[in-house]
């Protein structure tokens, strides 16, 4: 809920919440599958403690901030302090104890929250528990900025599927490769390095067997430091993946294949990949509306990923799989790098069938434009889905 505040208090709340969001950004590559959360504790407009969520099973942001305040010699000042938290404090026993109990124990006067937590285990109960103890609560402060850090977590909690970000690199005329398939490199090394950030923040990097066979990519995070590598996954209906593919580097790899009875040779291949290469072979049904029944059920794959706590999917695939996700209504966001090159005839970004009416085009909204070296990075998203998430975390 939003409380009417005087302009000075509202300005101060925005300032300190921005600091909490900055702290949450420090955990961007660390917390999966938990959300990235920052907490700042303030007494008499003086910072007395701060923290951010650590890796799974370790301290949440509020506990880190309390410990930091105590380490600074500010334990007494916790009484009557204001906690600025980017996500509603948890009120349940999960991998760690409830953060709400720690805030109450230290007798906070006020808690300012950017986003409510749609997790069914929380769902406003954190706010209710704080208010029951006489602690003033204000929500929705810089909610959109906080949501940007945790779109996947919020989408998984609300919609029971991850947020899919499709990464594309094209020429000015919308080509991802020459007609003969050559694509290395359309964009600059600066743009390619920038793309590593988006891999690092994802839970899972997904591609198709066509891309794997054509480029033999590793698909891990390079060029930047990260404490955690995302899972890499391949959609390979016929289970033709080469056991010597570069992607099998002993980090986890998931391979989605058609749900059918394997041959003896395929069973041996499965055993080898799972026992020797740290792979997981996952059988999926065919899509009922697939072309000639030849496509895996992408919605089923998304359901599987959500059950396995995957928040953000980073899709780096070819035109056919890109089109499959778009046609299935599963592209939430597009991350597009455009090089100042004109190729002419070549392979399109999405291998789509012709439309009969312009009104049938998939409509997205640009929300970020950034020069990256000689290239341009554009971000667009499904605005209806974004606004639905924002409404859910802003209103109680």
Residue stretches of the annotated binding site for Zn(2+):
60, 90, 99
- CA–CA distance, 199 with 166 (Å, rounded to integer): 11
pLDDT at 385: 97
Show the beta-strand stretches assigned E in 91-222. Answer: 110-115, 136-139, 163-170, 175-178, 204-208
Residue stretches of the annotated binding site for NADP(+):
169, 185, 199, 211, 215, 318-324
Buried/exposed 122-144: b ≥16 CB within 10 Å, e otherwise: bbebbbebbeeeebebbbbbbbe
Show the beta-strand stretches assigned E in 79-149. Answer: 82-87, 110-115, 136-139
- CA–CA distance, 365 with 59 (Å, rounded to integer): 37
Instruction: Return all residues near 236 (Cβ < 8 A) that are at least 6 apart.
Output: 208, 209, 212, 255, 256, 257
- Is 0.75 topped by the overall pTM? yes
Q: What is the DSSP letter of 249?
A: S
Q: Cβ of 281: how many Cβ atoms within 10 Å?
A: 20
Residue pair 170/195 in contact (Cβ under 8 Å)? The answer is no
Residue pair 174/36 in contact (Cβ under 8 Å)? The answer is no
pLDDT at 292: 47
Cα distance between the two ends of the chain: 6
Domain 160-382 - what CATH class? alpha beta
- CA–CA distance, 340 with 171 (Å, rounded to integer): 6
pLDDT at 288: 81
Domain range list for the chain? 7-153, 160-382
The three-point CA angle 26-104-133 to 5° equals 130
232: left (phi over 0), alpha (psi -120 to 50) or beta: beta
List residues with catalytic annotation.
62
Give the phi and the psi of residue 136 in degrees, each rounded to 5. Answer: -70, 135
- CA–CA distance, 117 with 189 (Å, rounded to integer): 38
Residue pair 333/380 in contact (Cβ under 8 Å)? The answer is yes
pLDDT at 384: 97
pLDDT at 372: 97
Q: Cβ of 57: how many Cβ atoms within 10 Å?
A: 9
| Residues across the chain | 396
Instruction: Return all residues near 368 (Cβ < 8 A) that are at least 6 apart.
Output: 377, 378, 379
pLDDT at 396: 62
53: left (phi over 0), alpha (psi -120 to 50) or beta: beta
Between 3.40.50.970, 3.40.140.10, 3.90.260.10, 3.40.640.10, what CATH number should domain 7-153 receive? 3.40.140.10
Residue pair 59/53 in contact (Cβ under 8 Å)? The answer is yes
pLDDT at 124: 73
Average pLDDT, consecutive stretches of 10 residues, N- to C-terminus, the chain (396 residues): 74 96 95 95 96 86 95 95 95 71 94 91 83 94 97 96 97 92 90 96 97 95 93 98 97 97 98 98 87 80 98 96 96 98 93 91 96 97 97 84
């Amino acid at each position: 809920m939003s409380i009417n505040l005087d302009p000075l208090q509202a300005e101060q709340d925005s300032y300190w919440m921005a600091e909490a969001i900055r702290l949450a950004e420090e955990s961007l590559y660390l917390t999966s599958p938990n959300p990235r959360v920052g907490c700042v504790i303030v007494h008499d407009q003086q910072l007395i403690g701060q923290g951010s969520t650590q890796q799974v099973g370790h301290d949440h942001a509020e506990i880190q901030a309390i410990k930091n305040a105590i380490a600074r010699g500010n334990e007494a000042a916790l009484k009557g302090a204001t906690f600025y938290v980017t996500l509603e404090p948890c009120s349940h026993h999960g991998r760690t104890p409830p953060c709400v109990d720690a805030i109450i124990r230290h007798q906070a006067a006020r808690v300012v929250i950017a986003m409510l937590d749609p997790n069914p285990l929380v769902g406003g109960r954190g706010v209710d528990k704080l208010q029951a103890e006489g602690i003033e609560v204000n929500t929705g402060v810089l909610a959109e900025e906080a949501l940007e850090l945790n779109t996947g977590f919020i989408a998984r909690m609300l919609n029971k599927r991850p947020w899919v970000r499709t990464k594309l690199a094209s020429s000015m005329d919308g080509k991802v490769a020459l007609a003969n398939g050559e694509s290395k490199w359309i964009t600059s090394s600066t743009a390619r390095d920038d793309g590593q950030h988006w891999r690092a923040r994802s839970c899972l990097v997904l591609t198709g067997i066509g891309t794997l066979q054509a480029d033999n990519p590793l698909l891990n995070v390079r060029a930047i430091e990260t404490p955690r590598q995302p899972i890499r996954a391949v959609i390979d209906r016929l289970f033709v993946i080469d056991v010597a593919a570069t992607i099998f580097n002993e980090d986890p790899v998931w391979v989605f294949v058609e749900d059918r009875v394997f041959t003896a040779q395929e069973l041996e291949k499965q055993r080898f990949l799972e026992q020797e290469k740290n792979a997981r072979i996952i059988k999926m049904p065919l899509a009922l509306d697939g072309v000639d029944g030849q496509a895996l059920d992408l919605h089923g794959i998304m359901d599987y990923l959500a059950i396995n706590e995957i928040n953000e999917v980073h899709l780096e695939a070819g035109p056919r799989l890109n089109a499959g996700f778009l046609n299935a209504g599963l592209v939430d966001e597009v991350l597009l790098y455009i090089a100042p090159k004109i190729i002419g005839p070549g392979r399109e970004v999405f291998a789509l069938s012709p439309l009969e009416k312009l009104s049938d085009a998939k409509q997205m909204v640009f929300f970020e434009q950034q020069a990256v070296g000689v290239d341009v990075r554009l971000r667009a998203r499904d605005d209806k889905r974004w606004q639905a998430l924002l409404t859910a975390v802003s209103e109680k």
